[in-house]
């Protein structure tokens, strides 16, 4: 397996984990459990971002082009209505 494939698989798993942790947090009524899962999610987000930056530097991932100001304003106005 190529490094690029392993990185993409790891990013996919981290993204799924982050989503799963968020779901657990919103459904947990015990505050200590919520805090513990929040910390785990935060650590996972940090790992995901570090891996993403490495993938971007190695050319494994090309982010979408940045939106221009007009596109940003259009999205903002859609959400503020």
Let me know if residue 69 belongs to a domain. Answer: no
Q: Using an 8 Å Cβ cutoff, are 37 and 28 in contact?
A: yes
pLDDT averaged over consecutive 10-residue blocks of the chain (81 residues)?
92 96 96 97 98 94 86 90 77
Half-sphere exposure of 9 (CA within 13 A, CB side): 6
Question: Which residue carries 């939106």 as its tokens?
Answer: 67
Helix (H) or strand (E) holding 61: none
pLDDT score recorded for residue 1: 82
Please state the domain count of the chain. 1
Let me know if residue 71 belongs to a domain. Answer: no
Q: Which domain holds residue 24?
A: 3-63
pLDDT score recorded for residue 55: 95
Let me know if residue 79 belongs to a domain. Answer: no
pLDDT score recorded for residue 67: 87
Instruction: Kindly report the number of other CB atoms within 10 A of residue 37's CB atom.
Output: 19
What is the rounded CA–CA span in Å between residue 17 and residue 79? 28
């Amino acid at each position: 397996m190529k490094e690029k494939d392993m990185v993409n698989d790891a990013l996919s798993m981290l993204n799924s984990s982050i989503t799963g942790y968020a779901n657990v947090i919103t459904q947990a009524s015990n505050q200590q459990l919520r805090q513990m899962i929040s910390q785990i999610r935060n650590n996972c987000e940090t790992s995901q971002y570090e891996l993403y930056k490495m993938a971007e530097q190695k050319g494994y991932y090309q982010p979408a082009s940045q939106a221009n100001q007009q596109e940003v304003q259009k999205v903002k106005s859609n959400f503020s209505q």
